[in-house]
């Protein structure tokens, strides 16, 4: 409890059109000390102006005005990365497979087993926390990356592919010396400790040499 208080309080977003289910699950989650925000439909949730807090979504597969799976897609498109736990009155296998493939944490059928739900929520929150930390790192790296000049970015892309300076110079039609200077600048700006470190950063940033 104390740990949770000091840390960022996770929020469970519950989306279910059935009032009984919504009320019961909300009650259950509160009884274990979770913060719950519930919505009747996906649209309601999307329209709500809420801060992007740590948490997860418990989502009914069948919803009026668009299924849970569709909402999942929409959320991804609108860069909402909250992990999703699907709940369904009568889930079938193809649907659960599809849900899991598109990144769902868990696919639970009603009536919900308390432990399964709570476990899934725990997992989801953990996953969100991790994702958020990762995202923070990436954001830092991105900020560093943004300080690079365009020439430095070009060099960066080639460096992380593990090519020697000579090759890079040839490819970019620069002198080897210039490449070396850029390379040291990059390492400094990106605060990389080693090439390996730099390559990992590039991974996280999603920088690839493919397009160049």
| Whole-number Å distance between alpha carbons of 117 and 138 | 31
All residues at 6 or more sequence positions from 203 whose CB lies less than 8 Å from its CB, including other chains: none
Contact predicate 72/59, CB 8 Å: yes
Secondary structure string (H, E, C) spanning 47-68: HCCCCCCCEEEEEECCCCCCCH
Position 90 contacts another protein (CB under 8 A): yes
How many chain residues bind another protein (CB under 8 A)?
Answer: 22
Q: 9, 89, 133, 137: which one contacts another protein (CB under 8 A)? A: 89
Taking the least distance from each CB to another protein, the nearer of 31 and 146 is 31
Nearer to another protein, 74 or 185 (CB): 74
User: Which residue in 6, 20, 146, 150 binds another protein (CB under 8 A)?
Assistant: 20
Q: Which of 12, 21, 169, 174 binds another protein (CB under 8 A)?
A: 21
Q: Is 4 a residue that touches another protein (CB under 8 A)?
A: no
Instruction: Pick out residues in 98-137 that bind another protein (CB under 8 A).
Output: 110-112, 114
Query: Which CB sits closer to another protein, 31 or 150?
Result: 31
* Helices 114-146/195-205 angle, 10° precision: 110
> Among residues 28 and 135, whose Cβ is nearest to another protein?
28
- CB within 8 A of 152, min separation 6: which ones? 182, 185, 186, 189
């Amino acid at each position: 409890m104390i740990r949770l208080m000091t840390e960022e309080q996770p929020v469970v977003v519950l989306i279910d059109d059935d009032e009984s289910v919504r009320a019961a699950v909300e009650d259950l989650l509160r009884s274990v000390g979770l913060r719950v925000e519930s919505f009747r439909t996906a649209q309601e949730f999307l329209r709500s102006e809420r801060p992007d807090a740590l948490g997860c979504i418990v989502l009914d597969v069948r919803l009026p005005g668009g299924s849970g799976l569709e909402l999942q897609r929409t959320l991804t498109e609108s860069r909402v990365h909250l992990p999703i736990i699907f709940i369904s009155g009568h889930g079938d296998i193809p649907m659960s497979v599809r849900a899991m493939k598109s990144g769902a944490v868990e696919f639970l059928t009603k009536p919900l087993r308390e432990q399964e739900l709570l476990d899934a929520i725990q997992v989801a929150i953990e996953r969100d926390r991790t994702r958020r930390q990762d995202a923070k790192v990436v954001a830092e790296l991105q900020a560093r990356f943004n300080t690079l000049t365009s020439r430095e970015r070009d060099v960066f892309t080639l460096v992380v592919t593990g090519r020697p300076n000579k090759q890079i110079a040839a490819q970019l039609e620069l002198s080897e010396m210039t490449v070396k200077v850029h390379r040291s600048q990059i390492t400094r700006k990106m605060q990389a400790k080693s090439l390996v470190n730099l390559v990992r950063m590039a991974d996280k940033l999603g920088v690839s040499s493919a397009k160049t």
